[in-house]
Amino acid sequence: MQVQEEAKPYDTINVTPMLDLAYVLLVVFILMTTASVQGMSISLPKPSAAPPTERHPVHVLRVDADGSARLDGTPKTDEQVLVELKGIRSQDPKSTVVLQGDGKARFDRVVAMIDLCNEAEVGMSLATGRIGF
């Protein structure tokens, strides 16, 4: 009985699986490029060169570190803030209140001011930085 002591190295490399993969990738590439050509044509509106004519007032409602509220720099109680916000809403329904909370203020005071803005139905946004006061 004859025993083979050394394994013979392959003389050739089978490239059939590599070619199969290349053909599959080629087909996928062709399909994807033809599919991306199809689309839906839409007509976008043209931007206006004229500046906006409407200007609505912006009021600043600040909650200080001690929890007190200031509307446009004037200290107010919660009841006064609500009355002022309703007055702002009656003067211009599109006016906005920017709520600025101090970093050391309790969050429940900021939420209370948000509730007051919602009760007065005034547009509101939260400031993330210093506005200029």
Distance CA 79, CA 61 (A): 14
Q: Under a CB-based contact definition with an 8 Å cutoff, are residues 102 and 77 in contact?
A: no
Amino acid identity for residue 64 in this structure: D
Domain boundaries, the chain: 58-126
Which tens digit of pLDDT belongs to each residue from 7-31? 677 778 888 889 999 999 999 999 8
Distance CA 7, CA 98 (A): 81
Q: What is the DSSP letter of 74?
A: E
DSSP-assigned beta bridge partners for residue 59: 97
How confident is the prediction for the chain on average, in pLDDT? 84
pTM (2 decimals)?
Answer: 0.56
Residue 122 tokens, joined? 């005034």
SS3 state at 28: helix
Query: What is the third-level CATH fold of 58-126?
Result: Nucleotidyltransferase; domain 5 (3.30.420)
